[in-house]
Amino acid sequence: MSEVKYSKEHEWIKIEGDVGTVGITQHATEMLGDIVFVELPDVGSSVEKDGNAGVVESTKAASDVYTPISGEITESNQAIVDDPGKINSDPENEAWFFKLKIKDSNELDSLMNKEEYDKFAKESGN
């Protein structure tokens, strides 16, 4: 069983047991435009909820990536580093950013479900 939740910074997290897989949403990629560079957190590093966990750059500008919850990075997706265009083509599946070991599952409560996020994204416009 897995569950997907969303942050106000337009990240998604798929939860499977105590492992979370994090990426950015389709809506985020539409706002960013063509992504040409990505920097991911180091495996083994700890990240804090809403803290910095990478960078994406489009042809236009650089944007920070935040982690929706705290944890220890267990894996990062080299495929999107080698071909950042994948983030535009399949942001919510193949182009995940990193996996982390969830530190405190209570943090998940502050995140939105799909329906709430879609409404949020629509209302926040850009």
Partner 1 sequence: MGTEVNMEIKKTSLNKLHETNKAKFVEFAGYEMPIQYSAGIIEEHKFTRSHSGIFDVSHMGQLFIYGDDNLTDDLEKIFPLDLKNLKLNSSKYSFLMNDDAKVYDDLIITKIEGGFLIILNAACKDNDFKILSSLLNDKYKMVLDNTRSLIAIQGPKSVEILNTILSNVSDLTFMSGNWFMYKDQKLFVTRSGYTGEDGFEISIENNFAEEFTKRLLDNGAKLIGLGARDTLRLEAGLCLYGHELDINKSPIEANLKWAISKERLIKGGFIGFDNIVNQINSGTNQIRVGIKPEGRLIAREKTKVFNKNDEVIGEVTSGTFGPSVNGPIAMGFVNKEFSKKETKIFLEVRGKKHPASICGLPFYKKSYVKGVN
59 forms part of the interface with partner 1 (CB under 8 A) = yes
Least Å from the CB of residue 104 to partner 1: 28
Interface residue with partner 1 among 23, 41, 84, 91 (CB under 8 A) is 84
Q: Are 55 and 63 in contact (CB under 8 A)?
A: yes
Q: Are 49 and 91 in contact (CB under 8 A)?
A: no
Q: Are 12 and 5 in contact (CB under 8 A)?
A: yes
Segment 7 to 46, residues that bind partner 1, using CB under 8 A: 33-34, 36-37, 39
90 forms part of the interface with partner 1 (CB under 8 A) = no
**Which bin fits 31, alpha (ψ -120 to 50), beta or left (φ > 0)?**
alpha
Least Å from the CB of residue 57 to partner 1: 5
48: helix, strand or coil: coil
Query: Which residues of this chain interact with partner 1, rule CB under 8 A?
Result: 33-34, 36-37, 39, 55, 57-62, 81, 84
